[in-house]
Amino acid sequence: MILRRFFIFCLINKFISGANILAITTLLSPSHHLFNDVYLFELAKRGHNVTLLGHDEDKHNHPNYTHIIMEGVYEKLKDHFDPMKMKDLSHWETINLLWSFSEITCILDYETEGLRKITRYPDDFKFDLIIWDSTGGQCLFPLVEKFGRPPMIAINPFINQPNTFKNIWQSYIPFMTLAYTDHMSLWQRLESAFLNTLTEVSRIMFFLPRQLELATMYFGRFNLNIEEIERDVSLMLSNHNPVFNYVEALPPNVIPVGGLHIQPKTLPKDLQNILDMSKSGVILFSFGSNIRSKDIGENKIRAIVKTLSKLAQTVIWKFEEDNLPGLSKNVHIRKWLPQNDVLGHANTVLFITHGGLLSAHEAVYNAVPVIGVPFNLDQLQNVANYVKKGIGAKIDFNDITEENLYNVIQSVLNNKSYKENVKKLSVLYKDQQDKPLETAVYWTEYILRHKTAQHLNLATRDMNFLQIANLDIILICLLSVFLLLGVTVTCMCCLILKRVSKQTVTEKIKTS
Ligand SMILES: *[C@@H]1O[C@H](CO)[C@@H](O)[C@H](O)[C@H]1NC(C)=O
Ligand SMILES: *[C@@H]1O[C@H](CO)[C@@H](O)[C@H](O)[C@H]1NC(C)=O
Ligand SMILES: *[C@@H]1O[C@H](CO)[C@@H](O)[C@H](O)[C@H]1NC(C)=O
Report CA(295)–ligand 3 centroid distance (Å): 33
Nearest CA to ligand 1 atom 5: 18
In 1-150, beta strands by DSSP E: 20-24, 49-54, 65-69, 129-133
Q: Does domain 11-258+434-466 have CATH number 3.40.50.2000?
A: yes
Angle of helix 208-219 versus helix 91-110 axis, rounded to 10: 10
Pocket of ligand 3 (CB under 6 A): 390, 415, 417-418
For a ligand 3 pocket test, name from 389, 410, 415 the mutation site with the most ligand atoms within 8 angstroms of its C-beta. 415
Ligand with smallest separation from the Cα of 417: 3
Pocket of ligand 1 (CB under 6 A): 18, 47, 49, 63-64
Pocket of ligand 2 (CB under 6 A): 20, 49, 51, 66
Report CA(156)–ligand 3 centroid distance (Å): 35
pLDDT confidence of residue 14: 47
Closest ligand 1 atom to residue 44 Cα is 14
| Degrees to nearest 5, angle at CA 177 with 172 and 178 | 50
With a cut of 50, which residues of the chain have pLDDT below it? 9-11, 13-15
Closest ligand 1 atom to residue 18 Cα is 4
Report CA(415)–ligand 3 centroid distance (Å): 6
Torsion-angle region of 245 (φ positive above 0: left; ψ -120 to 50: alpha; else: beta)? beta
Fold for 269-430, please state it: Rossmann fold (3.40.50)
pLDDT confidence of residue 464: 86
Ligand with smallest separation from the Cα of 120: 2
Report CA(417)–ligand 3 centroid distance (Å): 7
| Degrees to nearest 5, angle at CA 377 with 458 and 260 | 60
CA 92, CA 248: separation in Å to the nearest integer? 25
Report CA(394)–ligand 2 centroid distance (Å): 48
Closest ligand 2 atom to residue 22 Cα is 5
Report CA(49)–ligand 1 centroid distance (Å): 7
Report CA(62)–ligand 2 centroid distance (Å): 13
CA distances for 137 relative to 2, 83, 209, 305, 450, angstroms: 47, 20, 13, 40, 26
Nearest CA to ligand 3 atom 3: 417
For a ligand 1 pocket test, name from 16, 42, 46, 64 the mutation site with the most ligand atoms within 8 angstroms of its C-beta. 64
Quote the pTM value.
Answer: 0.90
Strand order in the sheet with 152-156: 65-69, 49-54, 20-24, 129-133, 152-156, 235-238, 254-256
Ligand with smallest separation from the Cα of 51: 2
Report CA(126)–ligand 2 centroid distance (Å): 9
| H or E element, residue 84 | none
Report CA(127)–ligand 1 centroid distance (Å): 15
- How confident is the model over 248-285, as pLDDT tens digits? 888 999 999 999 999 999 999 999 999 999 999 999 99
User: Residues 331, 354: contact at Cβ < 8 Å?
Assistant: no
Question: 466 in helix, strand or coil?
Answer: helix
Short-list 368, 362, 322, 346, CA closest to 272: 346
For a ligand 1 pocket test, name from 49, 62, 66, 448 the mutation site with the most ligand atoms within 8 angstroms of its C-beta. 49
User: Residues 244, 361: contact at Cβ < 8 Å?
Assistant: yes
pLDDT confidence of residue 487: 93
User: Residues 208, 420: contact at Cβ < 8 Å?
Assistant: no
| H or E element, residue 502 | helix 471-511
Nearest CA to ligand 1 atom 4: 18
Closest ligand 2 atom to residue 64 Cα is 1
CA 369, CA 179: separation in Å to the nearest integer? 19
Residue 501: Cβ within 10 Å count: 10
